[in-house]
Structure 1
């Protein structure tokens, strides 16, 4: 097998199926295909992957993208976007690395690197912030972006919370499989192997209200998510006069249809303020969950956090394509979603069409990015949010 076969799978499966490409001029697509084919014929795997990333990023639809994580090796550092900064949150044990904000790589300011990387990253600005940090640890990507290494090392300038600057040098040959530090569904946690221990976490804060954390709608099976949603429904219906805090930060999606009973319960039972916490790692079905709640509750819903990872108009459904030669994965779309205007087209599945509502916009009522101190203290962050709502 060759990289040409990988490209053919993209051309035969993704481009004809994915409606998000219909808005792109063929000449632009053809130019990207030609570059990707050239690298495929050369057998240059990493060059092929980055060119394919650029091709699949053309529609600016975050659901459509090449995910290189399983196919590449990276320097043993984990970078994660926090707010509008990129933080070094972890490293392999053999490297003594400071935690803190990334300022520059090989003397180039992070803002300049991000501007150069944009064309390779799919989706909104927030989606790019989620999936972009892997490029900062991928030696080939840095070289392609013109961030040349010096003397066989990559130098990172990191600033800790006290303002102290550290210049961390890592040998470019010291790499590990990308998937060890950067999961396919990036959740923003320090630990890349994080998976939710439970799909609903409910806490009663007495006079302040009730919190319900929903970390993921990607349950291992429908029964697991159904049980979690049912438990949340029971608590909501039992506490109709309580302020509710719903946390979907880091929820990358799943099946929003299975969450409809909870949406119904909140809509029918919550008589006080409903607060929803969101962040850039809130995607897909989790965004739809918030959108339907906003449509039903109107001003009774208060949105706190940061802009989510997608807008209200996007392409989704589709599937995953495993590329046999490179080992990369392609995520592609097949259906149009318009939760902004409440419109559909022939690609929108009937079950989605029946639920589509015109939300208009999902604007933050309060921008609030939690820091580590907020999250470390048991319940401190939730209590602060609930207190701010009740005052």
Structure 2
């Protein structure tokens, strides 16, 4: 199976949870723990202890799912988790969508009758400071905070999960305390409804920014938000004295052709500088973009940049690694930290827990982008085409505030333009 989250989504049943785990449930959970190679010996022992503690307990469906999520989170591996987008198929969610920014949590969208809530800052959820709930979510998903941030708002928007986690509420409505200018904060209570994510979003989710694109003046929409439905595009930009290349996914039957066409276009255009935007790329197949990245490094005689975020994950990290390895110090990484470490476990498959139809992703093959991963348990493609880099952290770290977003500003892109204009010729 190629690197990345397996594109597998099993429709959830609405059947009620039995009062105790069945033998099939226990066997499935133990099978998951046995198969996932990311657990340290200590974490695996703790996970199995947690399975034993669940046996015979009477739990609500949501309580059980959170315990399963915790068992997966003990592996502390980005590719080892109970898939949060699937919660939308089983639990009603608030009709209000939330989004994280450098300066806080904000309402990204609301139903027509509550449109006035869009753009408001969230002070508290269920009477608790929102950051307390943000921190509490770490119990249910391992790996880096930057990747957890891509899913935490689903947890925040789901009353049944918050109640099951002991974070207040009645399991049916969501209480938000919203900033109100200079006045007293406003408390609103929001009903929930079953609104399942569909298609790929049911597995990978999607950036919260997409919910609020309508808030941005169309005339001021920055490049990175102008074609979010496209997996790949190349644009020549005068302010860059070069090209902007956006790769939003590393999967799909059309991507190899698009990449080949993109290379042809870049060869003809002969840009001095190239910017590769990977901030929305959750991965797929690491083999698809490898040759593209290697060749790209030689097409810019000036400067080469990559834009990253917490959604730069899985095969997107591999692609970034190949670009860095080919370009060396010439590559300047800009933006927010990527979604995983340079050593992680991936590939694998899924286990379904029968009672709740919850799908848990496990990982079986090592990836190490520092050493080149020579070990026998490394993913074959990485052993054949190794990556050896010291770091993929941003050289120029930028963050996005809600005010930036509303104004159509892109701090990462703006930093690149300034660097090109102010720095010595590459």
Give the TM-score of the pair, scaled to structure 1: 0.86
Shift of 1:244: 0.3
Shift of 1:9: 2.1
Counterpart for residue 108 of structure 2: 89
5+ residue gaps, structure 1, are: none
Worse overlay, 55-64 or 293-302: 293-302
CA distance, structure 2, for counterparts of residue 164 and residue 262 of structure 1: 54
Q: How many residues align?
A: 383
Instruction: Determine which of 330, 353, 360 is the counterpart of 1:300.
Output: 330
Tell me if 1:213 matches 2:246. Answer: yes
Tell me if 1:28 matches 2:46. Answer: yes
Structure showing greater relative contact order (alpha-carbon pairs closer than 8 Å, 6 or more residues apart): 2
Instruction: Determine which of 171, 176, 184 is the counterpart of 2:203.
Output: 184
Instruction: Determine which of 118, 129, 136 is the counterpart of 2:156.
Output: 136
CA distance, structure 1, for counterparts of residue 289 and residue 205 of structure 2: 22
Counterpart for residue 110 of structure 1: 130
Instruction: Give secondary structure in 2 for the equivalent of 1:184.
Output: helix
Counterpart for residue 27 of structure 2: 8
Work out whether residues 126 and 280 of structure 1, in 8 Å CA contact, stay in contact via their aligned partners in 2: yes
Shift of 1:36: 3.5
Tell me if 1:72 matches 2:102. Answer: no
Work out whether residues 187 and 251 of structure 1, in 8 Å CA contact, stay in contact via their aligned partners in 2: no
Shift of 1:216: 0.9
Work out whether residues 121 and 131 of structure 1, in 8 Å CA contact, stay in contact via their aligned partners in 2: no
Shift of 1:359: 0.8
Worse overlay, 146-155 or 263-272: 146-155
Counterpart for residue 204 of structure 1: 236
Work out whether residues 83 and 306 of structure 1, in 8 Å CA contact, stay in contact via their aligned partners in 2: no
CA deviations on 1:197-244 (whole Å, 9 max, x unpaired) are 32211111136211011111132x2xx011111122113323445110
Instruction: Give secondary structure in 1 for the equivalent of 2:65.
Output: helix
CA distance, structure 1, for counterparts of residue 69 and residue 340 of structure 2: 18
CA distance, structure 2, for counterparts of residue 236 and residue 212 of structure 1: 10
Work out whether residues 77 and 345 of structure 2, in 8 Å CA contact, stay in contact via their aligned partners in 1: yes
1:251-290 maps to which residues of 2 (within 5 A)?
A: 251-290=281-320
Counterpart for residue 145 of structure 1: 165
Q: 1:92 to 1:11 in 2, by over 3 A?
A: farther
CA distance, structure 2, for counterparts of residue 128 and residue 293 of structure 1: 25
Worse overlay, 80-89 or 110-119: 80-89
CA distance, structure 2, for counterparts of residue 370 and residue 44 of structure 1: 38
Counterpart for residue 395 of structure 2: 365
Instruction: Give secondary structure in 2 for the equivalent of 1:130.
Output: coil
Counterpart for residue 310 of structure 1: 340
1:302-341 maps to which residues of 2 (within 5 A)?
A: 302-341=332-371
Work out whether residues 336 and 398 of structure 2, in 8 Å CA contact, stay in contact via their aligned partners in 1: yes
Tell me if 1:57 matches 2:73. Answer: yes
Work out whether residues 336 and 394 of structure 2, in 8 Å CA contact, stay in contact via their aligned partners in 1: yes
Aligned-residue CA RMSD (Å): 3.1
Work out whether residues 113 and 145 of structure 1, in 8 Å CA contact, stay in contact via their aligned partners in 2: no
Counterpart for residue 216 of structure 2: none
Instruction: Give secondary structure in 2 for the equivalent of 1:315.
Output: strand
Counterpart for residue 64 of structure 2: 48
CA distance, structure 2, for counterparts of residue 193 and residue 183 of structure 1: 19
Instruction: Determine which of 120, 124, 127 is the counterpart of 1:100.
Output: 120
Instruction: Give secondary structure in 2 for the equivalent of 1:21.
Output: coil
CA deviations on 1:64-91 (whole Å, 9 max, x unpaired) are 1012423322222222333473332123
Instruction: Determine which of 121, 125, 141 is the counterpart of 2:141.
Output: 121
CA distance, structure 1, for counterparts of residue 45 and residue 375 of structure 2: 26
Instruction: Give secondary structure in 2 for the equivalent of 1:146.
Output: coil
Q: 1:139 to 1:216 in 2, by over 3 A?
A: same
Q: 1:247 to 1:145 in 2, by over 3 A?
A: same
Q: 1:193 to 1:82 in 2, by over 3 A?
A: closer
Shift of 1:292: 1.7
Tell me if 1:291 matches 2:321. Answer: yes
Work out whether residues 81 and 188 of structure 1, in 8 Å CA contact, stay in contact via their aligned partners in 2: no
Worse overlay, 75-84 or 60-69: 75-84
